[in-house]
Structures are given as structure tokens and as C-alpha cells.
């Protein structure tokens, strides 16, 4: 199931179109999560957008996004971002910290999701491999071209990660290219934003932070800065030991 968490119905049409498009491409059902006082308005909006095959869930007070996603067996989460206030972005990121599924923050200023090109930065971190399955899904079901941006490191760990990702992509005969970044593993994700602009890509796939340090608490984690700066959707994958990872 592809779930869209809608918080302001009046500006959610692009998100709804994007989420239903992706659900169709992936062969998934589609559902919307809304606040209790907006359900009648949502049903009217769905009718206006000609979205008929859709489940509607009302967010119960005190129930977390994690609980809802696990109960409904959600595989992909769109989170509407109608306001760019720091407080709201941080609160939503905190609500997504324990998700076992990829989640995507969708600004109201974005166009309809275009998955022709997917940007995949590759660093030395072990959890980078978890992103490959989602890039592969876009390649298989959305005919996406995957543009891998390899960190410019002295060591071999990033190269090893890229080779393992390529093995998966080759297995499904996907379209991909590998570019060497200017920056190292600590800055390759930030460089991917500029690459996405240059390539007119539709999405960037990023590993979320393992833990929040003092700087993250004071100034916001890297996810916060990506959401603020990126002109296209960023797909976050939480690094968890129980999530899928490619094997040697």
C-alpha cells in the first residue's frame, strides 16, 4: 500500500496525483491518512480528482505514524509538507524516525512526481545498501534511469557498496550510470542535490541519520536540511538492522 498523509487538503492535489501514479506503477493499493475533522472535505476532493479506488483512514489522537503504517502494512509513505517552518519539519521527521519503510516529504511547490531519473549517492556506510532495493523498484516498475554518485573516498568501502548495488541492477537489467563525486562520503549527499538539478532528476534517495548528535539537536539533522534545500522530493530510508540489506 502507498499511503499519503494529508494535512492541508486545499493544496494537496499534486501530491495525490503523484502518490496515485506511483501506486499504479508499483501495483500497490492507495490510501489517504487525514485528520478527523477533514474527512468529508477529503472525500469531496478525491471525487473531484477522479480517484475512486482509495481507502481513507482517520488519524486517531495519540496514534503514531509508525503504528498506522505497520497496522495497515504500508510499503511507501508520502508526507505532505504544506508549511516550511522548522518546527513542523522537525516534528514530522521525529515521527518518521522509527519507520521501517521509505518515506518522502512532498512540498506543495513540487510538480507531479517524475521518476525518469533517480539520484543515488553512494557513501562508505553499510546501510547505503538498503537504498538499492528502492532504486531497483523504480528501475523495474517505473523504467527509471538510476544515476549513482560515488563518493570520492581514499578507502574502498564506497566502491564496494557501489559494486554490490550494480550486481542487483544488472540482475534486472536496469538502466544506470556511475559518476564519481567531487566530495567524499561526508558530503556526497549534499552534492547530489546539485547533480539532481543538473540532470533534471525527479527524486533523490538518502539514508537517514543513524542517531542524532548534539549538532543535529541544535541545528537540525541532515534530513531537515535536505527537505529545506532540495527542489525535488527526497526519499529517506531509515538505517535499521532488521531492514533488508544486500548480502555478499
The pLDDT of residue 114 is 93
- Which residues are registered as beta bridge partners of 30? 2
Q: Is the predicted pLDDT of residue 27 greater than 90, yes or no?
A: yes
User: Strands (DSSP E) along the chain, which ranges?
Assistant: 2-5, 30-34, 55-58, 76-81, 103-107, 117-122, 145-150, 175-180, 203-207, 234-237
CB atoms within 10 A of CB 241: 6
Beta strands at 117-122 and 55-58: parallel, antiparallel or unpaired: unpaired
**Range in 37-41, 114-118, 148-152, 201-205 with the lowest mean pLDDT:** 37-41
Top-confidence residue, 123 or 213: 123
Q: C-alpha grid cell for residue 178?
A: 556511475
Within 13 Å and on the Cβ side, how many CA atoms surround 82? 10
Tens digit of pLDDT for each residue in 57-71? Answer: 888 888 889 999 999
The pLDDT of residue 9 is 86
Q: Look-up: residue for cell 555478499?
A: 248
- Which residues are registered as beta bridge partners of 104? 78, 235
The pLDDT of residue 235 is 94
Altogether, the residues listed in the chain come to a count of 248
Cβ atoms of 32 and 7 within 8 Å: the answer is: no
Q: What domains sit in the chain, N to C, each tagged with a CATH number?
A: 2-107 (3.40.50.620), 117-237 (3.40.50.620)
Q: Is the predicted pLDDT of residue 195 greater than 90, yes or no?
A: yes
Q: C-alpha grid cell for residue 172?
A: 534486472
Backbone angles phi, psi at 120, to 5 degrees: -130, 90
Amino acid at each position: 500500500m502507498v499511503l499519503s498523509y494529508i494535512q492541508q487538503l486545499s493544496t494537496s492535489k499534486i501530491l495525490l496525483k503523484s502518490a496515485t501514479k506511483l501506486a499504479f506503477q508499483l501495483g500497490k493499493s492507495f490510501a489517504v491518512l487525514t485528520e478527523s475533522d477533514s474527512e468529508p472535505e477529503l472525500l469531496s476532493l478525491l471525487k473531484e480528482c477522479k480517484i475512486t479506488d482509495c481507502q481513507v483512514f482517520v488519524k486517531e489522537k495519540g496514534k503514531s505514524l509508525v503504528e498506522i503504517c505497520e497496522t495497515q502494512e504500508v510499503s511507501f509513505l508520502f508526507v505532505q509538507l504544506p508549511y516550511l517552518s522548522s518546527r513542523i519539519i522537525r516534528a514530522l521527521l521525529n515521527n518518521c524516525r522509527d519507520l521501517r519503510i521509505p518515506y518522502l516529504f512532498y512540498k506543495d511547490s513540487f510538480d507531479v512526481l517524475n521518476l525518469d531519473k533517480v539520484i543515488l549517492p553512494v557513501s562508505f556506510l553499510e546501510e547505503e545498501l538498503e537504498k538499492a532495493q528502492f532504486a531497483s523498484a523504480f528501475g523495474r516498475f517505473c523504467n527509471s534511469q538510476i544515476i549513482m554518485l560515488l563518493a570520492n573516498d581514499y578507502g574502498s568501502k564506497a566502491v564496494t557498496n557501489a559494486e554490490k548495488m550494480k550486481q542487483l541492477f544488472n540482475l534486472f537489467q536496469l538502466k544506470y550510470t556511475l559518476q564519481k563525486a567531487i566530495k567524499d562520503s561526508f558530503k556526497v549527499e549534499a552534492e547530489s542535490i546539485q547533480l539532481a538539478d543538473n540532470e533534471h532528476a525527479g527524486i533523490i534517495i538518502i539514508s537517514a541519520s543513524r542517531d542524532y548528535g548534539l549538532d543535529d539537536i541544535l541545528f537540525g539533522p541532515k534530513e531537515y536540511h535536505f527537505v529545506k534545500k532540495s527542489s525535488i522530493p527526497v526519499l529517506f530510508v531509515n538505517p535499521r538492522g532488521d531492514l533488508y540489506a544486500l548480502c555478499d
